[in-house]
């Protein structure tokens, strides 16, 4: 089969991986080399589903010795198997990069022979790119569960980002849907990378003399909706991963029913709205000082699809509202629906100079329509639901539905 | 006094240099010769002078920092017809008060200049991703763009860093200018004659068609969302995108 045919198959097989981010690397070009990192990432195109294309996201091969039920590449699926040689991948990466199609390579693979053998091939590609081609653009590679840590360590010196997919949010789901993968085969390498980071951090003063090691950090991905876990379970898992494994990002991918299997749920549409709510809650974890327990409780373990998690939290904790903009602590202001990190910082900075009035607020960049129900400004309340949070919910829901498209785009556009 | 200059950024800065020499209170108008109009009688024609331009820009940089200098440059490159006097005002304000940018919320003129700079900077950033090179028969990389603002010179540094070992050119079709990089220097030139018979290298067709194939297959059909795509990648950029042009040929 020619290169074009192989690309079609292997891009098809790689497209369900969500991450295409090229951010976090400030690798410089070297004399005689090609490429560098752009710290905040660059999108080069957008595919017909509206997702950013930043990297050449491809599988080395779609052959696999494993049999994960949800995956097109599973051993038992009757499909054409192809393989891109290291030289082919290197040449595609360089030629695409020269033409400014991409920021770099995101390479994943089915497992051939063994996890170690597969990783050795990935390592070979990384070395060819970095050492022979002097390529300094972005490289993101998949860590294969069960790989020897020695190999991962070496790979870590050449790539910008390494990600090992959680795949499914629980051990039970793994057993059911990905019987050859175990929780520990996934967690162990993650933990190993984390420990490497910690170790290097303690020797920070030597940083100059050290080889780089996964400078853009490790990330992971979970499939949402293929197994029965509730949202609270997933969110708590993410929280633990951020805290204990120093992950840069957890990606969620709504389960797209491409395969059928006895243990797979019968759904028609991928649960996109649920995925979107998870991303919003994930933001609350990472940037807004929320804990998973606050966002979803034992009594209410799933997202209210009608309102976003922050608003939902506010309505549940109505006794804390309305919040006085001129006196509340920064952490509280962050928690007001309709106020983002930047506007919260701006509010705190500006009120030092002068008490904020209603007019000031309108120009500060908050979503006033939403925020007004939750704040007072100089003691005055401008919202509609002082005694009745249910009323606010009703008002916001109708606004929400119209906003839905925008919200989804907001989160998927992240570089 | 009325000043005339050649429309270039260094020309404009030379005018500022002269204006400071003559006393800024004498400045009644600054006119771009390329824009055509010659309505005044007593213009002073100022030639672009790199040394003088450098002095002004460096002075500004030293006094107010990189952000102000960049705001000026980017705002100029937005090429608004009424830009000269407003930018002149901006420079005077900056030399008077180095923290001037923090007033942009209260001074509408400074806010306006900042806004122009922001628009230029946004288009530049978007184009850093959307620009497409094609390999010519002689091995040079060539990109054609038609941006709203004059961003080709503003992108040159970015590509000189990442493609430092390549010979490349970015051609602004609308402004008839090109930035060219010869593996050492960046040169900006006017393009008077349009090359109609561009010859691409042998492998160009192969790689661009693989890219198009890749582009089509990386999209998830179940999630198709044309509005979302258009909001990130407006249609006006499509004619210059390899993956979008060859796609439509394919459909036709
Ligand atoms: S190991 Fe990966 S490629 Fe192989 S079947 Fe499982 S999910 Fe698919």
Q: Count helices and strands (H / E) in chain B.
A: 9, 8
Same domain for B189 and B206, yes or no, is no
Are B40 and B14 members of one domain?
yes
The domain segmentation of chain A, as residue ranges, is 3-295, 309-414
- CB of B221 within 8 Å of a chain A CB? The answer is yes
The pLDDT, as a whole number, for residue B104 is 61
- Tokens matching residue A287: 């940037």
CA of A72 to the centre of ligand 1 (A): 8
Q: Do the chains contact at A16 and B220, CB–CB below 8 Å?
A: yes
pLDDT value of residue A142: 93
A chain contacts of residue B231, beta-carbon cutoff 8 Å: 50, 409
Q: Judge if the upstream peptide bond of residue A322 is cis by omega within 30 degrees of 0.
A: yes
Rounded to an integer, what distance in angstroms lies between the CA atom of residue B13 and that of residue B87? 10
Distance of CA A67 from the midpoint of ligand 1 (Å): 7
What is the position in ligand 1's atom list of the atom closest to the CA of A72? 8
| The three-state (H, E, C) secondary structure of chain A, written as one string | CCHHHHHHHHHHHHCCCCCCCCCCCCCCCCCCCECCCCCCCCCCEECCCCCEECEEEEECECCCCCCCCCCCCCCCCCCCCCECCHHHHHHHHHHHHHCCCCCEEEEECCCCCCHHHHHHHHHHHHHHHHHHCCECCEEEEECCCCCCHHHHHHHHCCCCEEECCCECCCHHHHHHHCCCCCHHHHHHHHHHHHHHHHHHHHCHHHHHHCCCCCCCCEEEEEEECCCCCCHHHHHHHHHHHHHHHCCCEEEEEECCCCCCCCCCCCCCCCCHHHHHHHHHHHHHHHHCCCCHHHHCCCCCCCCCCCCCHHHHHHHHCHHHCCEECCCCCHHHHHCCCCCCHHHHHHHHHHHHHCCCCHHHHHCCCCCHHHHHHHEEECCEECCCCCCCHHHHHHHHHHHHHHHHHHHHHHHHCCC
Residues having CB within 6 Å of any atom of ligand 1: A 64, 66, 68, 71, 73-74, 110-111, 178
Extended strands (E) in A292-414: 323-324, 375-377, 380-381
In CATH, which superfamily holds the domain spanning A3-295?
A: Aldolase class I (3.20.20.70)
Per-residue pLDDT, B40: 61
pLDDT at B150 over 90: yes
Chain B residues 48-67 with CB within 8 Å of chain A:
none
Of B132, B210, B225, the CB nearest to A4: B210
Is the CB of B225 less than 8 angstroms away from the CB of A50? yes
Ligand 1: residue whose CA is nearest its atom 1: A66
- What global pTM score does this model have? 0.87
> Cα–Cα–Cα angle for A205, A208, A212, nearest 5°?
110
> Which residue in A231, A228, A194, A234 sits closest to A214, CA to CA?
A194
Query: Residue A411's pLDDT is what?
Result: 44
Q: Is B131 on the interface with A (CB under 8 A)?
A: yes
For B35-61, what is the HEC assignment? HCCCCCCCEEECCCCHHHHHHHHHHHH
- Give distance in angstroms: CA of A109 to centre of ligand 1: 8
- pLDDT per residue of chain A (415 residues) written in tens, 0 to 9: 889 999 999 999 888 887 778 888 888 998 889 999 988 899 999 999 888 999 999 999 999 999 999 998 999 999 999 999 999 999 999 999 999 999 999 999 999 999 999 999 999 999 999 999 999 999 999 999 999 999 999 999 999 999 999 989 999 999 999 999 998 999 999 999 999 888 888 887 777 777 889 989 999 999 999 998 999 999 999 999 999 998 999 999 989 888 888 888 888 788 888 999 999 999 999 999 999 999 999 999 999 888 889 999 999 998 998 999 999 999 999 999 999 998 898 888 888 888 888 877 877 778 888 888 899 988 888 887 777 777 888 877 766 555 554 444 444 433 3
Which of A14, A62, A64 to mutate for ligand 1's pocket (most ligand atoms within 8 Å of CB)? Answer: A64
Pocket test for ligand 1, best of A58, A81, A110 (most atoms within 8 A of CB): A110
* CA B67 to each of CA A118, B94, B99, B128: distance values in angstroms, whole numbers, following the listed order: 48, 11, 11, 20
Distance CA A160, CA A162 (A): 7
Task: Specify the residue for token string 């920064």.
Answer: A330
On whether both B90 and B119 belong to a single domain, the answer is yes
Residue A86: CB atoms within 10 Å: 17
Q: Verify that B45 and B154 share a domain, yes or no.
A: no
Average pLDDT over residues B53-71: 91
Determine the average pLDDT of the residues in B139-145. 94
Q: Pick the closest to residue A387 from A336, A341, A326, A321 (CA basis).
A: A321
Q: Pick A100's closest partner by Cβ from B133, B206, B207.
A: B133
Neighbours of B243 (CB within 10 A): 21
Residue B146 to residue B223: CA distance in whole angstroms: 31
Task: Please tell me the predicted confidence (pLDDT) of residue B102.
Answer: 65
Could B232 and A7 be called an inter-chain contact, meaning their C-beta atoms sit closer than 8 Å?
Answer: no
Residue nearest to atom 2 of ligand 1 (CA): A110
Q: Are residues B7 and B119 in the same domain?
A: yes
Element (H, E) at A88: helix A86-98
Characterize A385-400 residue by residue with b for buried, 16 or more Cβ atoms within 10 angstroms of its Cβ, and e for exposed.
beeebeebbebbeeeb
Residue A379: predicted pLDDT: 87
- A47 contacts B218? CB cut-off 8 A: yes
Task: Give B42→chain A minimum CA distance, Å.
Answer: 44
Q: How far is the CA of A172 from the centre of ligand 1 (A)?
A: 17
Contact A96 B166 (CB under 8 A): no
Q: Looking at residue A361, what is its pLDDT?
A: 81
The percent of residues above 90 in pLDDT, for chain B, comes to 52
Q: Give residue A412's pLDDT.
A: 42
Are residues B141 and B205 located together in one domain of the fold? no
Question: What confidence tens digit (pLDDT) does each residue in B155-186 have?
Answer: 999 999 999 999 999 999 999 999 999 999 99
Centre a 10 Å sphere on the Cβ of residue A194 and count the other Cβ atoms it contains.
Answer: 16
Ligand 1: atom nearest CA of A145 is 1
Ligand 1 centroid–CA A59 distance in Å is: 11
Asked if residues A408 and A276 have their Cβ atoms less than 8 Å apart, the reply is yes
Q: What are phi and psi of B178, to 5 degrees?
A: -140, 145
Cβ-nearest to B133 among A57, A99, A269: A99
Distance A12 CA to ligand 1 centre (A): 14
Nearest residue of chain A to residue B229 (CA atoms): A50
Length of chain A: 415
- How many structural domains compose chain B? 3
Residue A200 CA: distances (Å) to CA of A158, A211, A212: 16, 10, 10
Atom number, ligand 1, closest to the C-alpha of residue A13: 3
Domain with B20, as residue range(s), is 2-123
The shortest C-alpha distance from B232 to chain A (Å) reads: 7
Beta bridge partners of residue B167, listed in sequence order = B182
B211 interaction partners in chain A (CB closer than 8 Å):
96, 99, 101
Interface check B167 vs A, CB under 8 A: no
Q: Residue A140 C-alpha to ligand 1 middle, in angstroms? A: 18
Q: Read off the pLDDT band of B187 (50, 70, 90).
A: very high
């Amino acid at each position: 089969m020619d290169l074009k045919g192989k690309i079609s198959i292997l891009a098809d097989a790689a497209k369900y991986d969500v991450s295409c981010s090229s951010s976090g690397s400030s690798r410089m070009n070297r004399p005689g080399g090609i490429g560098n990192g752009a710290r905040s990432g660059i999108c080069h195109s957008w595919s017909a589903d509206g997702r950013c294309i930043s990297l050449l996201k491809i599988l080395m091969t779609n052959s696999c010795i494993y049999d994960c039920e949800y995956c097109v590449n599973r051993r038992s699926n009757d499909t054409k198997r192809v393989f891109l040689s290291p030289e082919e991948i290197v040449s595609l990466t360089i030629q695409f990069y020269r033409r400014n199609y991409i920021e770099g390579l995101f390479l994943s693979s089915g497992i051939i022979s063994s996890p170690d053998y597969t990783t050795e091939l990935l390592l070979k590609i990384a070395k060819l790119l970095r050492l022979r081609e002097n390529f300094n653009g972005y490289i993101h590679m998949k860590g294969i569960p069960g790989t020897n840590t020695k190999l991962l360590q070496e790979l870590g010196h050449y790539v910008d980002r390494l990600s090992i997919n959680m795949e499914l949010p629980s051990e039970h789901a793994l057993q059911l849907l990905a019987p050859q993968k175990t929780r520990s085969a996934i967690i162990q390498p993650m933990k190993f990378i984390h420990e490497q980071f910690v170790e290097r951090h303690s020797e920070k003063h030597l940083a100059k003399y050290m080889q780089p090691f996964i400078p853009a950090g490790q990330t992971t991905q979970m499939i949402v909706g293929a197994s029965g876990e509730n949202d609270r379970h997933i969110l708590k898992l993410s929280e633990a991963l951020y805290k204990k494994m120093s992950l840069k990002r957890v990606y969620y991918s709504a389960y797209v029913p491409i395969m059928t299997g006895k243990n797979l749920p019968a759904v028609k549409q991928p649960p996109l709205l649920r995925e979107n709510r998870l991303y919003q809650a994930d933001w609350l974890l990472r940037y807004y000082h929320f804990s998973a327990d606050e966002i979803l409780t034992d009594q209410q373990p799933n997202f209210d699809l009608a309102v976003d998690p922050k608003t939902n939290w506010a309505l549940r904790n109505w006794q804390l509202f309305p919040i006085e903009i001129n006196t509340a602590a920064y952490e509280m202001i962050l928690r007001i629906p309709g106020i983002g990190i930047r506007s919260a910082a701006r509010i705190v900075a500006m009120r030092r100079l002068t008490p904020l009035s209603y007019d000031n607020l309108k120009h500060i960049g908050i979503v006033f329509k939403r925020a007004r129900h939750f704040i007072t400004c100089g003691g005055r309340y401008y919202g509609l639901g002082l005694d009745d949070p249910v009323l606010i919910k009703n008002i916001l829901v109708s606004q929400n539905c119209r906003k839905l498209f925008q919200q989804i785009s907001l989160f998927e556009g992240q570089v | 006094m009325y000043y005339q200059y050649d429309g270039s950024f260094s020309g404009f800065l030379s005018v500022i240099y002269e204006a400071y020499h003559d006393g800024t209170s004498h400045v009644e108008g600054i006119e771009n010769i390329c824009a055509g109009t010659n309505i005044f009688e007593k213009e002073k024609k100022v030639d672009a002078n790199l040394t003088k331009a450098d002095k002004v820009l460096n002075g500004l940089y030293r006094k107010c920092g990189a952000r102000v200098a960049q705001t000026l440059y980017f705002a100029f490159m937005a090429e608004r017809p009424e830009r000269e006097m407003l930018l002149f005002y901006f420079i005077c304000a900056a030399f008077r008060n180095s923290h001037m940018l923090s007033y942009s919320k209260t001074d509408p003129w400074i806010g306006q200049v900042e806004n122009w700079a922001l628009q230029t900077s946004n288009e530049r950033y978007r184009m850093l991703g959307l620009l497409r090179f094609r390999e010519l028969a002689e091995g040079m990389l060539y990109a054609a763009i038609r941006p709203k603002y004059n961003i080709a010179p503003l992108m040159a540094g970015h590509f000189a860093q990442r493609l430092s070992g390549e010979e490349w050119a970015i051609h602004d079709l609308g402004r008839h200018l090109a930035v060219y990089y010869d593996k050492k220097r960046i040169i900006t030139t006017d393009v008077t004659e349009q090359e109609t018979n561009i010859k691409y290298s042998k492998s160009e067709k192969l790689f661009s068609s693989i890219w198009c194939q890749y582009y089509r297959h990386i999209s998830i059909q179940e999630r198709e969302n044309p509005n979302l795509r258009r909001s990130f990648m407006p249609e006006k950029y499509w004619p210059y995108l390899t993956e979008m042009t060859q796609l439509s040929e394919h459909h036709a």
